[in-house]
Chain A
Amino acid sequence: MSPVEPRVRALSERVILVEFGDTAAMDAATRARVRAGVLALTREAIDGTTDVVPAYNTIAVHLDAASLGHFPAPYLEQVLREVRARVSDMPETPPAPGRLVEIPVVYGGVDGPDLDEVADHTGLTAAQVVALHAGAVYEVAMIGFSPGFPYLAGMPEQLTTPRRTTPRTHVPAGSVAIGGRQTGIYPQASPGGWRLIGRTTRVLFAPGEDPPALLAPGDRVRFVPVD
């Protein structure tokens, strides 16, 4: 059965959205289609494209304002047509899995002050939480919130824990955290409401490097417990 065509519409005069499935979809099949769509929109970029931004079930294509005058008028119809052409005829086979990045994590203690709360909430022991969290392979569904912050899909459902009712004003850089059904890593010290279960010394974002972020959408991640 072939999936329904993605919906292509304008968010603004120069941002086009490609939407897959309904607004709450974050399943693996949808993510694979998003990855295929990003490939299609970057391999043969539409003139004036500055950014192709994937989220769980949507892609945004940002266009440069100064370049729009180069389209034969009316440019928007043409841009929408060109986006549709690229995403409507994508191959059925999902793109190859992204590279696997291992992240060493010190779980619990001062590095993961909320580990026991997660254990209490889930009815597991702290050791079981760590074993489950480190036993899964995750996919970077998207990067957002702050530069280099990976939203990781694929967390075992037993670990689902709601965010804190009052966010912390200071979460240390490298904190590994659970927020609802997702897990992620804070690249910089920042405020944050997710439950902190551990911390890594890996640098997730370095503005001077190329690329500046350790992880890209589509990459896979495994956490490796260290003492």
Chain B
Amino acid sequence: MLTTVQDLGRTGYQALGVSTGGAMDPTALRVANLLVGNPEGAAGLEVTLVGPTLVALSPVLMAITGGALGPSVNGVPVPERRAIALSAGDVVAFGCAPAGARAYIAIAGGIEVPAVMGSRATDLGVAIGGLEGRALRRGDVVPTGTPSAAARRTMRRLEAAGRRVAWWGAAPHLRRARLIDPIVRVMRGPEYDWFSGEADRAFWETSWRITDRSNRMGLRLEGGRVALPAARELVSSPVATGTIQVPPGGEPIILMADRQTVGGYPRIAQVCEVDLAVLAQLTPGARFRMTEISLIDAAQLLLARERDIYDLGNGLAIHHL
């Protein structure tokens, strides 16, 4: 079980070697926050594969998004991507047979742990942020902030209607079908041309598998080899979330949220931003292929996603009135 406090990450400190971190599937966290009347970047819980069991200590408004990990309240399954009113004593649990790897729990008012360098995100490597820089464990009390006026109105409205679960919600940002043998769209990286025909072919044609040596820093892949034709020196250069590096062994690594800020391996490709959510939801053992997308098309997809989130925020604001 790995449950950590995450927000949208620590920006502004990469020049000092500090990872951005934050939610592996930021879109899912943003949507969860909007559903409970929070700012998009409020801190929530990132639940990995096996969910925790949580007890509400006071009435709260909650929403669960991201991977489908089978959430329930007091043993009754509850839908994802809806605002859910919890009373004191209600028990939130997760089932098995997940579709996806990471679920996000937003609580109205956000999780109120101290911000470190402007963010509440847990960085397990440096042991900062979140609850004492670590993952949640049995017995922890997770402090939450004051719900917004919108969240309080929604709670009153649900109570008046005698309902626990809101009858409005958000559409899934990932179709479940996309998580089965998905195609991940990537752009050519700065050192793409260093790789010869054979390595290049292996990169595009291999059905890549995510190994269990993968974590929040990066996804280590196996299933093929993408070897450089000759050793070539690259001095440490900037990387981003989604950068695909090829170490000398030829098995690519996809850098994820807790990545380092610079890296010395050739950058063969870059995952387009909207498909980072797909990778964040794949479990060890899952397979996927890569296909090329142009920078322009990737940028259009990113803008379309941002428009969707903007529209969702506006739509929910009407429901929160």
Give B116's nearest chain A residue, CB to CB. Answer: A207
Question: What's the least CB distance linking B214 to chain A, in Å?
Answer: 18
Q: How far, in whole Å, are A51 and B16 apart by their CA atoms in the complex?
A: 10
Q: Which residues of the other chain, B, contact A151 by a CB distance below 8 angstroms?
A: 236
* Chain B interface, number of residues (Cβ within 8 angstroms): 46
Give residues of chain B (155-197) contacting chain A, Cβ–Cβ below 8 Å. 187, 189-191
Q: Does A201 touch B at the CB level, under 8 Å? A: no
Contact present for A65 and B302 (CB under 8 Å) = yes
Number of A-B residue pairs, CB cutoff 8 Å, is: 144
Interface residues on A, range: 35 or more
Q: When the two chains form their complex, are residues B126 and A13 in contact, meaning their CB atoms are under 8 A apart?
A: no
Contact A75 B303 (CB under 8 A): yes
Q: What residues of chain A lie closer than 8 Å to B231, measured between beta carbons?
A: none
Return the contact of B302 from the options A13, A19, A147, A188 (Cβ within 8 A).
A13
Q: For window 13-57 of chain B, which residues contact chain A by CB distance below 8 Å?
A: 13-20, 40
Inter-chain CA distance A60–B14, complex, in Å, is 10
Are A144 and B306 within 8 A (Cβ)?
no
B29 CB to closest chain A CB, in angstroms? 13
Of B81-89, B283-291, B292-300, the stretch lying at the interface with chain A is B292-300
Assess the A147–B17 pair: CB atoms within 8 A.
yes
Contacts of A73 in B (CB 8 A): 303
CA distance A9 to B295 in the complex (A): 11
Nearest A residue (CB) for B114: A208
Q: Which of B11, B116, B189 contacts A51 (CB 8 A)?
A: B11
Whole-angstrom CA separation of A127 from B309 in the bound complex = 62
Q: Do A76 and B262 contact each other (CB < 8 Å), given the known contacts A65-B273, A68-B303?
A: no
User: A59's closest neighbor in chain B, by CB?
Assistant: B238
Are A149 and B190 CB-contacts (below 8 A) given A62-B11, A76-B296, A188-B126?
no
Q: How far is the CB of A143 from chain B (nearest CB, A)?
A: 4
- Give A contacts to B, CB under 8 Å: 9-15, 17, 19, 23-26, 38, 50-60, 62, 64-66, 68-69, 73-76, 142-149, 151, 188, 205, 207-208, 211-213, 216-217
The 3 closest A-B CB pairs, nearest first, are: A60-B238, A144-B262, A50-B11
Q: Which residues does B use to contact A, with CB under 8 Å? A: 11-20, 40, 116-117, 125-126, 128, 187, 189-191, 233-238, 240, 242-243, 260-262, 267, 270, 272-273, 295-296, 298-299, 302-303, 306-307, 309-310
